[in-house]
Structure 1
Amino acid sequence: MPAVDLTSRPSAGPVPATYLGLLAREWEATMPPVLIRSRFLGLLYVLHARADEIGHVRPRNGVDVVQDLARGACLSTEDAVRYLAAAMAAGVVVRQSPDVYALRPAAVPDWRAAVDHITATQERTTP
């Protein structure tokens, strides 16, 4: 079996490793249920999986980064945009440029800000 170069694989590196550790061990346990039920948590795992060794998430294979994340998390593009904005409000993701996002292993994410953003941007349906 050939050796694997961990530094050239997506999600291998110090920032993604720290992010995944926080996500799996601490953040998920403190995350409000509404974020977990809304697939927000799934998007955070996909962000980790798509990040390079310094924690940047860039377009792959000529596909828009948001569309790629939406496909990976089984979300509509609109929901992916909403959840990315919620992750930025929580402080766990920042936007470096129009097509690059970066993981931010924050010590204390503001999950309430993420919930507020998601509930404020939900489609309102009238019966």
Structure 2
Amino acid sequence: MSNINGTNISAPVVPNSTLDSYPSHLSAYGKGGWKSAATVAERNAIPAARLEEGAIVYVVAERTPYIFVGGAWVEWVSGDALAAQIQEALDEQSIMWAANFINLEAAVVKRWNEDWGKTAK
């Protein structure tokens, strides 16, 4: 492990006040929050002590943000890509409902024909 140049600390760093415009830290060394990494390998090398649920890392080589969920990295989807995924899920759901309705309708018609056939004879 290499030493990091700078002021080493053993407690969280905070600004003097909520109105302070100076940053409290460099994102590479913060816990959770938003970070950037050059590659997926660099993202995967982030120590567990610097991660928390919901941390987001933008991987420059992939041009993709990832969110840390349940101990794993998941591609973070938003905007148009999220809308497309939702639409795809809704389309699949609609197809499933239509297929189930057709099967139900066929079963009802079959049963009705069986019962009608018995009473009509």
| TM-score (norm: length of structure 1) | 0.24
Structure with more relative contact order (C-alpha pairs < 8 Å, separation 6 or more): 1
Q: Which structure's CA Rg is the greater one?
A: 2
The structure richer in strand per residue is 2
The structure richer in helix per residue is 1
| TM-score (norm: length of structure 2) | 0.25
